[in-house]
Amino acid sequence: MKANMISFVKKLVPVFAFVCAAVVLAIPAKVQAEETAGECLVLVINDQAGMGSIESYYNGQKFTDSISVPQGSVITLRAGYNRRCTFEGWWMNNQLYRQQPNVDVTVTGPMCVLTAKFDQQMSYNKQAEQKFTQTSWVNQNCRFVKGKEVQYVSVTSSLVLQGEACINAFNLVKEDFTIARTYNITFTNQKKNEILKKLDAPAQFVMQIPAQLQAANREFRVISVFEGQPTVMADEDTDPTTITFTTDKGGAYAMIYKDVVVAEPVAQ
């Protein structure tokens, strides 16, 4: 009897060791997967606000403009177009993703830009076409403040998908603000036809805040990243539709905002 028991135990030892090894190996793998999942900053943009409307959802909750979610999350997008307009499609990071107005998107990477694009029907008259064009959100919306121009220098800005290093730099200094847009701002010496990394002296610039981002009691700032170093700049004007800031640096920029809670007056 004792011999049989010893034999039975010996048979169980390899099985038990295998099970324990499997459990031990599985735990680090799960932890590692969770650690490498990371966050994804999602920007949802209506490229022609005058031609249609968009809605975005995460886990059934509606959000506006931007949200930070775990990589691999699903974002639900809805688009509706106005009379005599057409829906062209959803673009993901400047690549056509789907031409259907209602889609689910699995987002990956540190940043994902989802853009809805619309167009007018060809039969629409020129006056209406011009009106719609004027309401389109303009990517090249950074300019010198009037009267503060630098001779022979032009400034252009473009909406871009910034890399992980820039996003990390933005996150270091944005505090409790939300990243709404990211850009590249470029200075060009028109006389010499060359790109300038920096101006000879700081100059004042103004950027238009997209209409869909404008809201009461909302504070905006700008972050620049130059040679890896982020700098936060407060809005220097009181116009709720623009941001004015002073810099001498080109490169990566972010527009950030925070909704300010206004205290209710105390009843007497």
pTM value is 0.60
CA dihedral 13, 15, 20, 22 (to 10 degrees): 150
pLDDT of amino acid 66 = 84
Contact 167, 202 (CB under 8 A): no
pLDDT of amino acid 267 = 67
Residue 67 in this model has a pLDDT that exceeds 50:
yes
Residue 62 in this model has a pLDDT that exceeds 70:
yes
Tell me the range of 26-35, 94-103, 255-264 where mean pLDDT is highest. 94-103
Which tens digits make up the pLDDT trace of 18-29?
444 444 344 444
Contact 92, 63 (CB under 8 A): no
Which tens digits make up the pLDDT trace of 149-197?
999 998 888 777 788 899 999 999 999 999 888 888 999 988 888 999 9
Higher-scoring residue by pLDDT: 57, 15: 57
pLDDT band of residue 30 (cuts 50, 70, 90) is very low
What's the token pair of residue 124?
């629409």
Residue 73 in this model has a pLDDT that exceeds 90:
yes
- Estimate the share of the chain in helix, then strand, then coil, as percent rounded to the nearest 5: 20, 45, 30
pLDDT of amino acid 139 = 43
Residue 31 in this model has a pLDDT that exceeds 70:
no
How far apart, in whole angstroms, are the C-alpha atoms of residue 242 and residue 9? 78
pLDDT of amino acid 78 = 95
Contact 196, 204 (CB under 8 A): no
pLDDT band of residue 222 (cuts 50, 70, 90) is very high
Higher-scoring residue by pLDDT: 219, 123: 219
Coil vs helix vs strand at 141: coil
Contact 50, 83 (CB under 8 A): no
Residue 254 in this model has a pLDDT that exceeds 90:
yes
Contact partners, residue 245, CB within 8 Å, separation at least 6: 204, 205, 207, 222, 233, 234, 235, 236
Contact 70, 35 (CB under 8 A): no
pLDDT of amino acid 4 = 52
- 240, with CB counted inside 10 A (0-12, 13-18, 19+), is middle
Residue 137 in this model has a pLDDT that exceeds 70:
no
pLDDT band of residue 245 (cuts 50, 70, 90) is very high
pLDDT of amino acid 96 = 92
pLDDT of amino acid 92 = 92
pLDDT over 70 percentage in the chain:
76
pLDDT of amino acid 120 = 65
Mean pLDDT confidence for 71-96: 89
pLDDT averaged over the chain? Answer: 79
Mean pLDDT confidence for 194-209: 93
